[in-house]
Chain A
Amino acid sequence: MEMLTRLDPARRVPTSSRAAYHPEIMERIVKERDRLIQRSARTIGLAGTAVALICLALPGAVDPPMLVLLVPLFAAIAFALYRMGQSRSILWVVIAVVGGSLAILTLHLGNVGALYPITGTLASPTGLSDSAVEAIRMLSAWVIASVGIVLTISLGRMIVLAGAFLVSLIVTAVALSGTVTAALSIAILFAGWTIAVVIGSLLATGVLRAARRITNIGRAHRTERQASETEAQRRQGARLLHDTVLATLTLLAHSGVGVSSSALKHQAADDARLLRQLRLGGTPSPKSSGDYTLQKPTSESVLGNTLENVKQRFGRMGLAVSWHGTGQVLLPSDVLDAFLGSLAECLENVRRHAGVAEAHVTITDDDTTIRAMVTDSGVGFDIAAIGDQRLGFKESVLARLREVGGNARVFSAPGSGTTVVLEVPR
């Protein structure tokens, strides 16, 4: 019994985990705890009730009229235990204890013949049958004791617990006094009640421990959620990086056909490196990372250099290119690639077909568009007669520009030179 005094989990909670609980959470946990304890008590109690009833129903356990008297009592006990599993009300506990005690007393009174007027059973000369003794033990040490499980959670309930224990002890002592195994039965009774109290206290403590742990996990999870949100935003924010990855993946989806495998390998390596940086917490972006090769928007100097490169390349091949207008434009790299590629293609056409050694490139830009006008004063051609196919214009220039949202137009007539206007959006 000394166990009872130190186990009061309900009171212990605030001291062991101050501030860990919001009152509402605490309320919910207490509710869950009580529900679990009540259901456990119900299961245990009902199991015991079934066993006790089976014992009494065995042939030779008690006379049939006695059984008729006992069955309603058992039904009452079972109902009380069932309700005890659902509600916190102490009423069902009391009914279960009273019902159980009455059942034991009925067995005792039947045994001594006191119920003769009702059942017509005389006092048994051999005393209680073994089965009846087992049933009484079951009732006192298991069925009635099962209410002990729900009686450990507060001081008031512990007082009820002590009362219930005493009642079952007295009733059992009265019923089994004189039997050879009385001492054993009382020992069983003590064991049963101890186990009930242990189960009740352990469940209560276990639930609270778990609740504390769950609260901690919840707190950690909230942080994790915030971190994950930030992380997702960081990844989503790495837009340019994902653009190049997506472009490469799309190329790969077509088995990399049409792209040189070394270029693809190189590209894949670059993208994989960027993704790895992203994974390791970096934010590879055009501004902070020099490795950001593909989507590097052309800086002013780069564009100047690129144009200069083109000029030098054609110069080496015998075509002098003069630049006019601004060379200081910023373009996304795929647009820039298309733009420069088309420009080079046009200059190549001039070199091969125009019959002159000089070409002019004028670059103009407004808010939406960048234009390059490639002009030569060469032989020119009849657009209708030659068509743009022959010059590879359609694939190498027009298709390329259209892919990035641009366009190209050709103006020419035999003998009056050629002008090609290339447009890309900026």
Chain B
Amino acid sequence: MTTIGGLVQNEVEENTLGVVAHDRRKARSPLRIPVFASSRIIDENAGSLGTAFLGFGAMIVCVIIAVFSLGKFTVQWERYASPAMEVFAWLLYAVLLVSVLVVIRRNDDRLSDRMFVGYTLGLLTVVALDLGAIWPLHDVSGTATAAIAAGVGVLAMVGVRPLRQVLATAMIFGALLLIADLVDGNVQADHLAGTLAMLSQAVLPAVIGCFILRSFRRMVTLELDRVLVQSTVSAPRYAVGMLASEELARLDLAAEQLLEGVSSGRTPLPLDARVAQTAASLATELRLHLIEGRRETWLYHAISESELLGPAVTLSDPNSLAGLLDPRQRDGLLSAIWLLVSESGVKVVGTDRTARVTLGPSDREAGAGPMRKLLVPIVIQTSGVARNRVDPGTWDAIRKVGKHADSVVDGSLRLEVECVVENPADA
């Protein structure tokens, strides 16, 4: 009973479909985040979306630097008091690198917590062995080899572990090497460059790797979001939308479970107040969902389903005119909005790009004759979008929608488009 109550309660709290377009911002409670298809898909396809590939690339970089360090080790072979220790460090390193590669491949591009800790401890052992071997030389920065390779080895995890962990691990290795170099009994100003070179070799690859991977993930997220939203372009004039239809399915399921509980006697009658309340909210939500008027235009769905557009774009289309646009015009409009809102090129600090899209009222007919067309005026008022910072692709996109005029209001671009559509009365 509790489970049903809890489950149903959740559904109701999360539901936002009673919310109209201009109230969309309010609907963005943290609970709703997983609803975005792009986040979900990225979670599901983490490996195949290129991160695994880049992780593999990081491994290659790792190997190159390791081979280089190995070369350095063989060159200074004569200087070691106990080369066996150093050899062991390198063997261990090689084993670690190969096994982490195999584990990641086998494990569907994932590295479990235990493996992560094991690998990190292994790398730390490599550092300890290397430092032990070169300690008598009193020149950590000049002679460290496997320890540097171990620091770079962190890079191998860049595609499979949260970036913060990778960064933190890299920092730990950097700190260890720095401390070791400072206490090795040979601190001179002229040696600081060597220290710096060592640290940048050991730590920077992982740090930069994290940065690149972050940019890459961001790009993938945006592209995915865009592609997912793009599918609205071919939607019918009015549609229920992915969110609403999922929501309806969930409500139906919740109702089914509640009724099932009642009929099987698991939920005793008369119902306690909480479950009764749940039933009431469920009925209300269901009722709302079943009203025909809840169908919205593709543009509404595109904006509300998009992780990027959702928070940035406000749509005002009281007569649902967006539904009249043909796929080409829709594509153009969506691209234009997208390009206006997404940050490209220079980031303007402190100003979030937003857009208010207004369609209609359509009070004129375009042209005369038997094939009367309807004129839908579209106004896109942006904020934080400078005229000269607009991606050139925007103009190509807007041209697909119709004749346009642009002006600058409050330092931000304003687009007025005259979009000619088929008159639904003639259709």
Residue numbers in B under 8 Å from A59 (CB-CB): 189
Q: Does B220 contact A (CB under 8 A)?
A: yes
* A67 CB-CB contact with B under 8 Å: no
Taking A218-B228, A239-B290 as contacts, is the C-beta distance between A191 and B262 under 8 angstroms? no
A348 partner residues in chain B, CB cutoff 8 A: none
List chain B residues, Cβ under 8 A from A184: 72, 75
Residue B363 at the A interface, CB < 8 A?
Answer: no
How near does chain A come to B376, taking the closest CB pair, in angstroms? 23
B24 nearest CB across to chain A (Å): 19
Contacts of A144 in B (CB 8 A): none
Instruction: Please determine whether A257 and B270 come into contact, CB atoms closer than 8 angstroms.
Output: yes
Q: A370 to B234: give the CA distance in the assembly, Å.
A: 47
Q: Which residue of chain A has its CB nearest to the CB of B243?
A: A228
Q: Which residues of B contact A209 (CB under 8 A)?
A: 50, 53
- Residues in B whose Cβ lies below 8 Å from that of A195: 61, 64-65
B424 vs chain A, min Cβ distance (A): 19
Chain B window 267-308, contacts with chain A (Cβ cutoff 8 Å), 1 for yes, 0 for no: 001111101110110110011011010000000000000000
Whether A313 sits at the interface, judged by CB under 8 Å, is: no
Instruction: With both chains docked as a complex, state the minimum distance between the C-beta of B229 and any C-beta of chain A, in angstroms.
Output: 9
Contact B223 A191 (CB under 8 A): no
Interface stretch among A89-97, A101-109, A242-250, A397-405?
Answer: A242-250
Chain A residues near B189 (CB, 8 Å)?
Answer: 58-60
Cβ of A188 under 8 Å from chain B: yes
The verdict on A385 contacting chain B, using a C-beta distance below 8 Å, is no
Q: Mark B228-258, 1 if CB is under 8 A from A, else 0.
A: 1011101110011110111011001101101
A194 to B67, CA, bound (A): 12
Number of interface residues of B (CB under 8 A): 86
Is A300's beta carbon under 8 Å from chain B?
A: no
**Cβ of B394: which chain A residues have Cβ within 8 Å of it?**
none
Q: A36, A60, A202: which contacts B219 (Cβ < 8 A)?
A: A36
Most buried by B among A233, A268, A271, A278: A268
Chain A: interface residue total (CB-CB under 8 A): 86
Q: Are A194 and B64 in contact (CB under 8 A)?
A: yes
User: What residues of chain A lie closer than 8 Å to B234, measured between beta carbons?
Assistant: 222
Residue of B239, B244, B286 near A249 (CB, 8 A) is: B286
Question: Within 8 Å of chain B (Cβ to Cβ): is A365?
Answer: no
Known contacts A36-B216, A58-B192, A253 near B252 by CB under 8 Å: no
Interface segment, A114-122, A132-140, A303-311, A315-323?
Answer: A132-140
Q: Does A344 contact B (CB under 8 A)?
A: no
Docked complex Cα distance between A144 and B77 (Å): 31
B262 lies within 8 A of A264 (CB)? yes
Contact B263 A191 (CB under 8 A): no
Q: Is B71 an interface residue (CB 8 A)?
A: yes
B60: nearest chain-A partner, CB-CB: A198
Q: Is A336 an interface residue (CB 8 A)?
A: no
Given contacts A191-B65, A206-B57, A232-B240, contact A255 B259 (CB under 8 A): no
B193 near A: Cβ within 8 Å?
yes
Which of chain A's residues has its CB closest to B41's CB?
A217
Chain B nearest CB from A16 CB (Å) reads: 14
Give chain A residues whose Cβ lies under 8 Å from the Cβ of B255. Answer: 245, 249, 271, 275
Residue of A whose beta carbon sits closest to that of B239: A229
Q: Please, how many angstroms separate the alpha-carbon atoms of A252 and B232 in the complex?
A: 38
B223 touches A261 (CB 8 A): no
B200 touching A261 by the CB < 8 A rule? no
Q: Are A51 and B41 in contact (CB under 8 A)?
A: no
**Contacting pair B262 A246 (CB below 8 A):** no
Q: Is the CB of B249 within 8 A of A236?
A: no
What CA separation (Å) do A86 and B44 show in the bound complex?
Answer: 32
Chain A, residues 259-290, CB within 8 Å of chain B (1/0): the string is: 00100111011011001101100000000000
| A40 close to B (CB within 8 Å) | yes
Residues of A within 8 A of B344 (CB): 35
State whether A214 and B193 are in contact (beta carbons under 8 Å apart), knowing that A187-B68, A265-B263, A279-B252 are contacts in the complex.
no
Stretch of B89-97, B207-215, B309-317 at the chain-chain interface? B207-215
Which chain A residues in 36-62 approach chain B with CB under 8 Å?
36, 39-40, 43-44, 47-48, 51, 54-55, 58-61
Q: Does A221 contact B (CB under 8 A)?
A: yes
| Chain B residues with CB under 8 A of A218 | 224, 227-228, 230-231
A188–B69 alpha-carbon span in the complex (Å): 10
* Chain A residues within an 8 Å CB radius of B253: 275, 279
**In the docked arrangement, what's the CA distance between A233 and B279, Å?**
23
**B240 and A236 contacting across the interface, CB-CB below 8 Å:** yes
Q: Name the contact of B54 in the complex, choosing from A202, A233, A248, A275 (C-beta under 8 A).
A: A202
For window 173-209 of chain B, which residues contact chain A by CB distance below 8 Å? 189-194, 196-197, 200, 204, 207-208
**Is A36's CB under 8 angstroms from B53's CB?**
no
Task: Say yes or no: B216 contacts A203, CB within 8 Å.
Answer: yes
B48 at the interface (CB under 8 A from A): yes
Q: Mark B33-45, 1 if CB is under 8 A from A, else 0.
A: 0000100010001
Give the residues in chain B near A131, CB-CB below 8 Å. 190, 192-193
Least Cβ–Cβ distance between A348 and chain B, in angstroms = 29
Residues of A within 8 A of B282 (CB): 249
Residues of A within 8 A of B256 (CB): 272, 275-276, 279
Chain B min CB distance to A332 (Å): 17
Contacts A29-B223, A133-B193, A275-B252 known; 8 new A-B pairs at CB < 8 A: A131-B193, A188-B68, A213-B50, A221-B227, A253-B279, A265-B262, A268-B260, A268-B263
| 28 A/B residue pairs, CB under 8 Å, sorted by A | A43-B208, A43-B211, A51-B196, A58-B189, A58-B193, A129-B193, A130-B194, A138-B197, A191-B64, A191-B68, A199-B57, A210-B220, A213-B45, A217-B224, A217-B228, A222-B231, A231-B249, A239-B290, A252-B276, A253-B279, A254-B276, A255-B272, A264-B269, A268-B263, A269-B260, A272-B256, A278-B252, A279-B252
Partner-B contacts on A (CB < 8 A): 27-29, 32, 35-36, 39-40, 43-44, 47-48, 51, 54-55, 58-61, 86, 129-131, 133-135, 137-138, 142, 184, 187-188, 191, 194-195, 198-199, 202-203, 205-207, 209-211, 213-215, 217-218, 221-222, 224-225, 228-229, 231-233, 235-236, 239, 242, 245-246, 248-250, 252-257, 261, 264-266, 268-269, 271-272, 275-276, 278-279
10 closest A-B pairs (Cβ-Cβ)?
A232-B245, A218-B227, A210-B50, A269-B263, A131-B193, A202-B57, A253-B280, A232-B240, A275-B256, A222-B231
